Structure 1
């Protein structure tokens, strides 16, 4: 053990240290570090939680990557059929990191009731559709059974549309689908609501209704083996751009790929701004915490001026004495980090488990409960970064020790 650390340890344990004039300022500095780490942890957890939640909701309705025919169709409606007999379907083996692939088709229609009507995008799904992601959205009933040999009229409707149409679970309704030749009589289908979902994402809740894909195939006069496009889900969303290119290079030349990021650029540009906000909050809090620690360090130096004079008279170098106070400051920062982590992790866990904090305007953030997501390495990096940056900020103020004269410091005692 070096003597600087030994002296710093003795100072920390001394009763005078805990009852001195500087004790109150030291406690304030520790509290500032603790509050700072709590706020930074909450900022990261809520910012990333919101990003992950929105990513998941958009991907649930669209997949991470879509494979379709080359066409000039900018709408959501499937116009050109795509043969389901592809080398990459039903299992994509040429590209690693593929979680699931499913075939779907979309057709626009109008739901008509006795009192009102609403436009709708009927998304046709089949037996390969992965309902797991929708489980979090299901509020009433069950999912449509689309795996039977015969097509059925069961649908999954959003709570938003059910309210506007004054429909409930178990009700039936008629939907009109226009043909390519608008002069012909529209196709009419009667559906039964077997499930109601609520994703909180109004862009999709106000439009999407899930039906048996065979309805879309029959109305479009497609064969059983023809679909609108494929939705691909990958293991790691952070690799979506790389996987989009890999998939494009591995599929036939007459097919195209589009990631959900390029399909909804404004949504993902918006949530990417959360990163800027997180870094800005972290930067401000570290600066404030560092300033508080500088104040505490200067008070400690003034409080221990006689000791500094004695150490200098005994031959200690300025850097050696500075290290004593830096060790002392690092200990104070560590105490603040300890309490901050205990309280911060408890708050994050409580919100993640019980979700007691909610947005006052959930439609703006596409979720009612404030979501939480934070990883262990985020907490570790946050603690190490805060400790290192605060200590570095103390290097310059500790230089004041070199200006203290041993004679005047001993007389000051």
Structure 2
């Protein structure tokens, strides 16, 4: 028993794969191939760009969270928390909280000789810090085995620097460095800045340039002495699901004492994440227009096909084919071009997206250029993270545009008058 396909489907596929000059060979006609190529390249571009933007956002977020905790409970006035122990027990009682660590946050100047740079100072407890961030993994410095945050001891006044900050000031482990605190000493001669000679005891490399070039860590007890604080200014929290940070922060805020504020990791970098989302939407719209242009090339493709097949259309009409059947034949042809182009573009886009970590370094080596300077783009390699939530809308929109583009030429084909079409044949 053989399956008999509708003749509309058979003829539509035949018109798709065979032009006048290639009827016997069965190759895809040139004009249909160009339309498929246009749709495929547009879809591939959309898949690649959206995958790269997803990867860029995920990479920066993961590297940022190796330094920034999921949630921070801080003193609203910037001073020490009044009831540190009570607040610590209270936030740990939340079922989502996996770790908590006190910290001191301040700003200062770091000086070595005549070189000076503004830095973010964070006083941490080396025993508790690994429970809230993954900095213990990133704190190996330039070489494995180099001391990291575990080298910080109270009273020793040691500091751990980001690798880029150390490069800028020409510092290595064991070098002395001067920390200048903003709250000065009042003397008969006026207000003098507070200076403290410290020693570089470790380096960390989070991979996030913003922190690697500006963050200085020291023991929380030493930070309290330098900045004249009676205790930590906040508590850093790690929760089970980082995507629930905003909801957990809202749950914690009402139960905290007065004078305390809660902020999650999205609020600390709100501008950057909002900019990425806006750019992603704009790129989706712009590249969708490219797909739309390629899809509407099907109009010219089908118009030329209808003109070429007027005699065939007339013969089919005289044999009893209805206008709806003629319209179906050319809609099948346009749909085939759209489906093949869309699927081919999706496969090409996914192939490049999953191998972009190999393709981009090869192109950089060929052109002797760096596509992502990390002092500008925060990371130095091209990431990629294809997601079904992005790919599925791209495929559906491309197919929809392709189907819409076939309607008018197919309708015109169904209106061909058999008598006039055969008059000059």
Scaled by the length of structure 1, the TM-score of the pair is: 0.82
- Which residue does 1:51 correspond to in 2? 57
- Which residue does 2:348 correspond to in 1? 343
- Give the secondary structure class of the aligned counterpart of 1:396: helix
Partners of 2:206 and 2:376 in 1: how far apart?
15
- Shift of the alpha carbon at 1:32? 0.7
Q: Answer whether contact 2:103 2:122 (CA < 8 A) is retained.
A: yes
Is 1:188 aligned to residue 193 of structure 2? no
- Which residue does 1:140 correspond to in 2? 142
Q: Answer whether contact 1:40 1:285 (CA < 8 A) is retained.
A: no
Q: Answer whether contact 1:40 1:281 (CA < 8 A) is retained.
A: no
Q: Answer whether contact 1:91 1:100 (CA < 8 A) is retained.
A: no
Q: Answer whether contact 2:71 2:238 (CA < 8 A) is retained.
A: yes
- Which residue does 2:176 correspond to in 1? 172
- Shift of the alpha carbon at 1:40? 0.7
Partners of 1:215 and 1:354 in 2: how far apart?
48
* 5+ long unaligned stretches in structure 1: 72-77
- Shift of the alpha carbon at 1:297? 2.0
Give runs of aligned pairs for residues 1-400 of structure 1, distance below 5 A: 1-12=5-16, 18-19=22-23, 23-71=29-77, 78-81=78-81, 83-86=83-86, 89=89, 92=92, 94=94, 96=96, 100-126=99-125, 127-130=127-130, 131-132=133-134, 135=137, 139-141=141-143, 142=146, 144-146=148-150, 153-179=157-183, 181-183=185-187, 186=194, 188-197=196-205, 199-202=207-210, 204-220=211-227, 226-233=231-238, 239-352=244-357, 355-356=360-361, 358-359=370-371, 361-400=373-412
Partners of 1:267 and 1:339 in 2: how far apart?
34
Shift in CA distance, 321/35, structure 1 to aligned 2, threshold 3 Å: same
- Give the secondary structure class of the aligned counterpart of 1:409: helix
- Shift of the alpha carbon at 1:341? 2.7
- Shift of the alpha carbon at 1:236? 5.7
Partners of 1:244 and 1:4 in 2: how far apart?
61
- Which residue does 2:367 correspond to in 1? none
Shift in CA distance, 148/240, structure 1 to aligned 2, threshold 3 Å: closer
Partners of 2:270 and 2:106 in 1: how far apart?
23
* 5+ long unaligned stretches in structure 2: 365-369
Shift in CA distance, 404/67, structure 1 to aligned 2, threshold 3 Å: same
- Give the secondary structure class of the aligned counterpart of 1:155: strand
Q: Answer whether contact 2:66 2:134 (CA < 8 A) is retained.
A: no
RMSD of aligned alpha carbons: 3.5
Shift in CA distance, 23/117, structure 1 to aligned 2, threshold 3 Å: same
- Give the secondary structure class of the aligned counterpart of 2:80: coil
Work out the number of aligned pairs and report it. Answer: 403
User: Which string of whole-angstrom CA distances, capped at 9 and with x for unpartnered residues, describes residues 179-221 of structure 1?
Assistant: 565547736242224224263534x344211222222234456
Shift in CA distance, 154/321, structure 1 to aligned 2, threshold 3 Å: farther
